[in-house]
């Protein structure tokens, strides 16, 4: 499957923006890893898509093992300054889209890695600390790898901010 075809499929999965990602541009940030460790979202150590799952070195080796990737974005727009409903709808579009794309990609690339915004939400209640019940369906968090999303976008010439009244949720697929 060509990158061009994967981009078409990603757009069919509901992503507003799909751009090439060079996996060599992944730069881990200790600040992001430390922020995850504060556990403000409740996923740290409680969700298999969130850290801690391995060391920074192991995470980096995993990310660098891929040759190709895409940055995927769902962009929400609202006339309100703060619109929680729009945020939730945009986040759901991203989660649904990355899951659909991963299902399609694994047919040709069984070891592809799908990284989303926040922890995995495949199960209503994560099995952690017990083993993941559906490791082939798990979507891990970009932030959980210590990735500072704005820097990743900048390093790949991808917009991160689309103006007032917008939110851009980001994901990635690697193969």
111-156 confidence digits (pLDDT tens) = 999 999 988 999 999 999 999 999 999 999 999 999 999 999 999 9
Q: In the structure, what pLDDT confidence band is assigned to residue 81 with cuts at 50, 70 and 90?
A: confident
Q: Kindly tell me the sign of the dihedral angle through the C-alpha atoms of 144, 28, 175, 166.
A: positive
> Is there a contact between 141 and 91 (Cβ–Cβ < 8 Å)?
no
Q: What's the predicted TM-score (pTM) here?
A: 0.92
Instruction: Please give the Cα distance from 105 to 10 (Å, whole number).
Output: 10
Task: Report helix, strand or coil for 10.
Answer: helix
Q: What is the pairing mode between strands 113-116 and 166-174?
A: antiparallel
pLDDT at 85: 95
């Amino acid at each position: 499957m060509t990158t061009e075809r994967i981009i078409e499929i990603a757009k069919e999965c509901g992503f507003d923006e799909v751009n090439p990602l060079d996996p060599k541009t992944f730069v881990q940030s200790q600040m992001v890893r430390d922020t995850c460790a504060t556990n403000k979202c409740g996923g740290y150590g409680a969700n298999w898509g969130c850290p801690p799952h391995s060391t920074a070195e192991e995470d980096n080796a995993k990310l660098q093992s891929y040759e190709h990737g895409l940055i995927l974005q769902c962009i929400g727009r609202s006339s309100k300054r703060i619109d929680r409903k729009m945020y939730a709808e945009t986040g759901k579009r991203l989660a649904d889209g990355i899951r659909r794309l991963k299902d399609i990609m694994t047919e040709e690339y069984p070891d592809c890695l799908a990284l989303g915004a926040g922890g995995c939400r495949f199960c209503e209640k994560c099995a952690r600390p017990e083993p993941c019940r559906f490791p082939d369906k798990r979507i891990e968090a970009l932030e959980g790898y210590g990735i500072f999303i704005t820097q990743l976008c900048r390093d790949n010439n991808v917009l991160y901010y689309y103006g007032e009244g917008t939110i851009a949720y980001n994901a990635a697929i690697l193969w």
